[in-house]
Structure 1
């Protein structure tokens, strides 16, 4: 992101603070206008002539760049393992851990270890987790009970 005095072009196509087109003007004039308004002149592309520039506040420019980076990174799937006979405190800990992961933008794969006839209990536990995490995530897959485990994947909302 090139901004203010680092823009070397003689003329720039300027877009105002509220998105209005101000037209093509000399770079020095655009910089003067940016200083008057207390904002930065940010060049959005160097591949056209004259380069398009926008008047935006410094904080918004940084925020837009961070949002762009966050959107570009692929979401990861983090696995959280549980047992069907879980204590209330441990359940809360795992639920809070899952909330932090989902709020960070990653997916969560819950895996409940099943032994014997605990399949129904494991499915019940996963349904309870899905209800508790309804605000921060939504299930991607249905609850899959197979052999020695039950699993469900939750994506961020």
Structure 2
């Protein structure tokens, strides 16, 4: 980010504090205007001629740059997969609690792996439980995998929308 006296162009296209177009002016005039208003003159791109610049309150430019960095870092990170364990004989209240936990995780941007521990012939009941949960959570996430029955557990992964 190039600001104030570090701008080397002879002319710049200036945008005001509230987004109004102030037009093309000499860099010296733009700097003078910035000093009068007690703000910074920030060059947004060097790829055009004259380069576009905008007037931004002192310190606000640094804050915007930090926010952009944080957003970029957040977008880079792959969503974490968080596991919620259940049993086929779960009570209604406990099931509601797990559903709310899954909603919060999905709204936070992470994926949820719903796992039902099974023993014996509880596979059908576990599959039914996972189907109802995925239907309830469909407004917050979508299935990444189908319901997988394997050995002693049934699992389904849901990704945030």
Give your verdict on TM over 0.5: yes
TM range (shorter): 0.7 to 0.9
Counterpart Cα distance in 1 of 2:95 and 2:28: 60
Unaligned runs of 5+ in 2: none
Aligned residue in 1 for 2:116: 112
Note closer, same or farther for the CA distance 1:71–1:86 as it changes in structure 2 (3 Å cut).
Answer: same
SS in structure 1 at match of 2:138: coil
SS in structure 2 at match of 1:152: strand
Counterpart Cα distance in 2 of 1:70 and 1:88: 36
Unaligned runs of 5+ in 1: none
Larger radius of gyration: 2
Instruction: Spell out, residue by residue over 1:77-136, the C-alpha distance to the aligned partner (whole angstroms, 9 max, x if none).
Output: 111111111111111111111111111111111111011111011111111111111111
CA RMSD of aligned residues (A): 3.7
Note closer, same or farther for the CA distance 1:23–1:91 as it changes in structure 2 (3 Å cut).
Answer: farther
User: Which residue of 139, 142, 145 maps to 1:138?
Assistant: 142
TM-score, structure 1 normalization: 0.72
Counterpart Cα distance in 2 of 1:35 and 1:104: 44
Note the C-alpha offset of 1:34: 10
Counterpart Cα distance in 1 of 2:69 and 2:35: 20
TM-score, structure 2 normalization: 0.71
Counterpart Cα distance in 2 of 1:142 and 1:95: 18
Counterpart Cα distance in 2 of 1:132 and 1:30: 58
Aligned residue in 1 for 2:30: 29
Aligned residue in 1 for 2:107: 103
Q: How many residues align?
A: 154
Aligned residue in 2 for 1:87: 91
